[in-house]
Structure 1
Amino acid sequence: MTDHKGTITSPSRRALLGAATIAALPGLASPAVAQGAWRPNRPVRVLVPYPPGGATDMLARLISQNLGAKLGQSLVIENRPGGSGVVATMGLLASPPDGHAVLLATADTHTVLPAANPRLPYNVAEFVPVTGVASVVFALVTRPGLPVTSVSQLVELAKNTPQPLTYASYGVASASHAAGEMFCLASGTTMVHVPYQGAGPAVLAITADQVDVMMVPVAVANPQRARLRMLAVASAERFAMVPDVPTMAEAGLPMVADAWIGLLAAPGTTPAMAEALNAAVQEVLATPEFGNVLRTNGFTKLAYGPTRFAEFLRQESARWGQVVREAHITIES
């Protein structure tokens, strides 16, 4: 999410130093909203669907630290975990569509979950895209005792083992769950899903040889490299955090399984409001320091404006929705 489940990682010292560096940049003090454009007239609430301390929360705080000066109003972080993002989303839905509340949503909360749960009390397509901020890079990892060192060997073993292999995820109907099923569909294999409550416990199960495989954010797996095997990254290009690890395509299985994070506004928010908010966010995202914070914490930058982000979300809905349907991932509440 992810962390996508609020547990990817606590803000690293480097991230916090990066945040301080961004806040100190003199260039960030200038107004970002064009003269005559819409501006907020009171503090802007940023709803985060995860507890404090996770990667999504960290991004919300890094952005908010510098956004207030550009908008002329302070930003208030509201952590509203629960219901795989439903609690925070309902909080945004109940807010007036006046640009004074946004949600830092994720692929888990607003792409995979809606595809798996047709009974959500809202239509995610009605929320107004503001800014596509970043994406989480996933890696394919295995437990240390599994006798494979490459993707091709893993596929061969999965197809020929008497007992099905198991794969972990950080929750049912999460991006990690869907990414695991995407691997199975792409490789023509069948594995048994073992969900955990968060990415941290799932990775610990991998390192303890309790479960065979996982599609997990690189930032979660990388600190455990000595205790697991990272076979490939599921991104279009190699990732700077682990430059020695091939992409899935290089490993012979072309697939991309990354998970977006972005800002959404309440249904009915005007395009002028979305554009004004996005203009301010883009200046924060454009700093080299912010880009460094993203890379060192396992993200790639998107920096999509409202129009491009809206199209991107439609594409992601189709891409992940197909996986959810073909893998029969369902969750109802």
Structure 2
Amino acid sequence: MSGLVFRIQALFSRRAVMLALAFGVSLSGMARAQTQAAYPAKAVRLVVPFPAGTSPDVVARLWGERFAKATGQPVIVENRPGASTIMGAQVVAVAPADGYTLLWTVNNTFSINPYVYPKLPYKAEDFAPVTRILSVPYVLVVSAESRIRSLADLVREAKAHPNAMSYASAGIGQGTHVAMARLLNTAGVTMTHVPYKDYFISDVIAQRVDVAFDASTGAIPQIKGGRVRALGVSSTKRIEALPDVPAIAETFPGFVGDSWHGIFAPGKTPEPVIAALMAYSRRIVEAADFQAALRDYGLTPAGEAPDEFRKFLVDDARAWSKVVRDNQISAD
């Protein structure tokens, strides 16, 4: 039977070559097309460098469900949290470049970590950008019991009492830390940073710290539950999920502090595979139900092509590296 299968495959291969030559198609072009058409032929491993139940994990699974439905191949989400996405990124950096191990990550991996950490076990060239799925607005929040009721109040208080106020973050060099540093620089005020290893919002609610940036996915339930008060969002304009909360850019024109989620493959993954991944992802991102799910979380759909994503990454890294340098942010 195996010999028969081999002969049939050989027959189809010879026939494909003859057709290609007849229509003036190069063999290399035909091979690329066949590779793209065949992908994916088995389960895809999606490494998420965050714990289960966090925003990146939840959205990655939403994408995975739709990718599996579209392709008929399962997506296995593998959570590899730790070290500011470094552990998960390292796994994918050394994985086979065949499109069957992918990284779902955020801005820390490429736009912040290279400037915060003196040495990393990966470099940008180890990855091939596929697409930016979405942007993640941060929401500036205080306790619902705080006397601070607006961004203007916060800036006024901070100017009157330099470093007396405190802000929480998910850790040194994390997006919530660097975004807050950018805001303080923009406003010309100083506060005391309180980095956390775990989720910090309970201490904001209890007023053990004064203020924090939190991702929209975590902040919105707390706002709707009446436990925190939103002072502003880090996007260039207001978001649909919080229409009454002003963009910080309304007070400080040009300010933006969003994070993002994106998909990356190992660096030498064939272009047809990248193209197939992009095509599937674009259809997912453009689907009305997926966009509605993202907006419910306060997220903004993106869906850039690989070339656009690469340009975005260069600009994003340039902006955040300046914040890191200006504030001398470093981690071991």
Q: Which residue of 2 aligns with 1:30?
A: none
Aligned-partner Cα distance in 2 for 1:145–1:161: 20
Aligned-partner Cα distance in 2 for 1:277–1:204: 39
Cα pair 1:142 1:212 within 8 Å, conserved = yes
Q: Which residue of 1 aligns with 2:302?
A: 302
1:251, CA displacement in angstroms? Answer: 2.9
Cα pair 1:129 1:265 within 8 Å, conserved = yes
Equivalent positions of 1:267-278 (< 5 A) are 267-278=267-278
RMSD: 1.9
Q: Which residue of 1 aligns with 2:120?
A: 120
Q: Please give the TM-score of this superposition, normalised by the length of structure 2.
A: 0.84
Equivalent positions of 1:137-216 (< 5 A) are 137-161=137-161, 164-198=164-198, 201-216=199-214
Q: Which has the larger radius of gyration?
A: 2
5+ residue gaps, structure 1, are 1-33
Q: Report how many residues are paired.
A: 297
5+ residue gaps, structure 2, are 1-31
Could you say what secondary structure the match of 1:295 adopts? helix
Aligned-partner Cα distance in 2 for 1:59–1:289: 13
Could you say what secondary structure the match of 2:171 adopts? coil
The higher-RCO structure (CA 8 Å, 6+ apart) is 1
Q: Does 1:217 find its partner at 2:215?
A: yes
Q: Amino acid of the residue matched to residue 164 of structure 1?
A: A
Q: Which residue of 1 aligns with 2:85?
A: 85
Q: Which residue of 2 aligns with 1:27?
A: none
Query: 1:77/1:144 Cα in 2 relative to 1: closer, same or farther (>3 Å)?
Result: closer
1:170, CA displacement in angstroms? Answer: 1.4
Could you say what secondary structure the match of 2:237 adopts? coil
Query: 1:323/1:74 Cα in 2 relative to 1: closer, same or farther (>3 Å)?
Result: same
Q: Please give the TM-score of this superposition, normalised by the length of structure 1.
A: 0.84
Aligned-partner Cα distance in 2 for 1:72–1:61: 15
Cα pair 1:134 1:262 within 8 Å, conserved = yes
Aligned-partner Cα distance in 1 for 2:323–2:45: 34
Cα pair 1:45 1:102 within 8 Å, conserved = yes
Could you say what secondary structure the match of 1:173 adopts? coil
Which sits farther off after the overlay, 286-295 or 78-87?
A: 78-87
Q: Which residue of 2 aligns with 1:9?
A: none
Could you say what secondary structure the match of 2:189 adopts? coil
**Deviation string, structure 1 residues 264-301 (Cα, Å, up to 9, x no partner):** 00111232221111111111111100001101112111
State percent identity of aligned pairs: 33
Query: 1:211/1:279 Cα in 2 relative to 1: closer, same or farther (>3 Å)?
Result: same
**Deviation string, structure 1 residues 166-198 (Cα, Å, up to 9, x no partner):** 111112211000011011110111111101223
